[in-house]
Structure 1
Amino acid sequence: MNCVSIAPATEADIPALNKLVNGAYRGESSRKGWTTEADLLDGIRTDEDSLRAMLQNPAATILKYEEAGRLLACVYLEQKGDELYLGMLTVAPEAQTGGIGRRLLTAAEDMARERRYRAVTMTVITARHELIVWYQRRGYQPTGETKPFPMDDPRFGIPKQPLEFFVMKKLISPA
């Protein structure tokens, strides 16, 4: 059995995180998995400066998932009041469908429970129907709120069509 680790990322992980996230969401490599955004967006998903800023935010952490020392997944978590915002849940395309995303989601929910957050929230591109259904099976529900996608900020990608986000939420029961 491979040694599995879920732990906070550090600045030393930034190059590997950048490669993982961009490879899982954009470009041809992302098409090997089911979470690709390549048909919706051009450009990059993130860059090293953005990842560094995320790691330097005292209200945030990036959890990384490694097997046998190889980075296979990550998730961004940020305290927003009494809720934990979850973003950038990423699994390497060749490792998708093996339960890694579910394990990271559970780790995030456990963190929320331990820190007594009321809920875990996220935004999901409304056109990502299969992803919305995946989150719904895990107890997340659309709140009815939508948010605009940043259409003219290339740091998030270059939309190929008009996009917006659903806000999804899961209430967290105390430990």
Structure 2
Amino acid sequence: MEDASALADLYRRSYAENEKIGFPSSVADCDEETVTRWIRDRTVFVAAHDGEFVGAVQMIPHLDRELPEIGRLAVSPEWQERGIGSALLESAEEHVKSDGWGTVRLRTLSDHPFLEDWYRRCGYERTGVQSLDNRPYDAPLLEKEL
């Protein structure tokens, strides 16, 4: 819980990059209280370098869904393209697998310049699209067999 402020800063910086290119998200405005709730209610994986958080990803609890879901992947802009996102994604996938699941799901941003392609290179396939009324984009649903 003592890391909530630093994680909130990481999330705001990471998601601000998406907002700049037309993908607004409430994560870009998250505060310490919100991140404290995430830490309490979810499994949060972090990547750190010299005591500073450089990345994070979460297991999103959706008890009404048939598959576990990975979400809120964030890598600090100055640490991107160094394999941190891939390592975080793999850690979350291993967690899902160790819980006995054979498939995992995530959502991304439609028409983002690289995210869906990146997830596909990580082994995910599009299985549907969720319409979002409160956003100027939809959320492709991607799944991966583990």
User: Smaller-chain TM-score range?
Assistant: 0.7 to 0.9
Per the alignment, residue 80 of structure 2 pairs with 96
1:163 is displaced (CA, Å) by 1.4
Q: Which has the higher strand share?
A: 1
| Structure 2 unmatched runs, 5+ | none
Runs of 4+ aligned structure 1 residues displaced above 6 Å come to none
1:79 is displaced (CA, Å) by 4.5
- Work out whether 1:22 is the aligned partner of 2:16: no
Contact 1:62 1:75 (C-alpha < 8 Å) held by counterparts: yes
Contact 1:83 1:118 (C-alpha < 8 Å) held by counterparts: no
Question: Superposed, which structure 2 residues align to 1:103-122 within 5 Å?
Answer: 103-122=87-106
Closer, same or farther in 2 for the Cα pair 1:74/1:94, shift >3 Å? same
Larger Rg: 1
- Work out whether 1:52 is the aligned partner of 2:36: yes
Q: Alpha-carbon deviations, 1:44-83, whole Å to 9, x = none?
A: 34232322222222xx211111122111000011344563
Per the alignment, residue 53 of structure 2 pairs with 71
TM-score, scaled to structure 2: 0.87
Secondary structure at 1:142's aligned position in 2?
strand
The amino acid that maps onto 1:108 is A
Contact 2:54 2:79 (C-alpha < 8 Å) held by counterparts: yes
Distance in 2 of aligned mates of 1:115 and 1:65: 21
Task: Select between 88-97 and 47-56 the one with higher mean Cα deviation.
Answer: 47-56
Closer, same or farther in 2 for the Cα pair 1:42/1:113, shift >3 Å? closer
| Structure 1 unmatched runs, 5+ | 1-10, 31-35, 152-158
Looking at both structures, which has the greater relative contact order when contacts are Cα pairs under 8 Å and sequence separation is at least 6?
1
1:15 is displaced (CA, Å) by 0.5
TM-score, scaled to structure 1: 0.73
Q: Which has the higher helix share?
A: 2
Q: Alpha-carbon deviations, 1:7-47, whole Å to 9, x = none?
A: xxxx1111011110111111xxx3xxxxx332212773423
- Work out whether 1:130 is the aligned partner of 2:78: no
Q: Aligned residues, how many?
A: 142
Per the alignment, residue 140 of structure 1 pairs with 124
Closer, same or farther in 2 for the Cα pair 1:68/1:42, shift >3 Å? closer
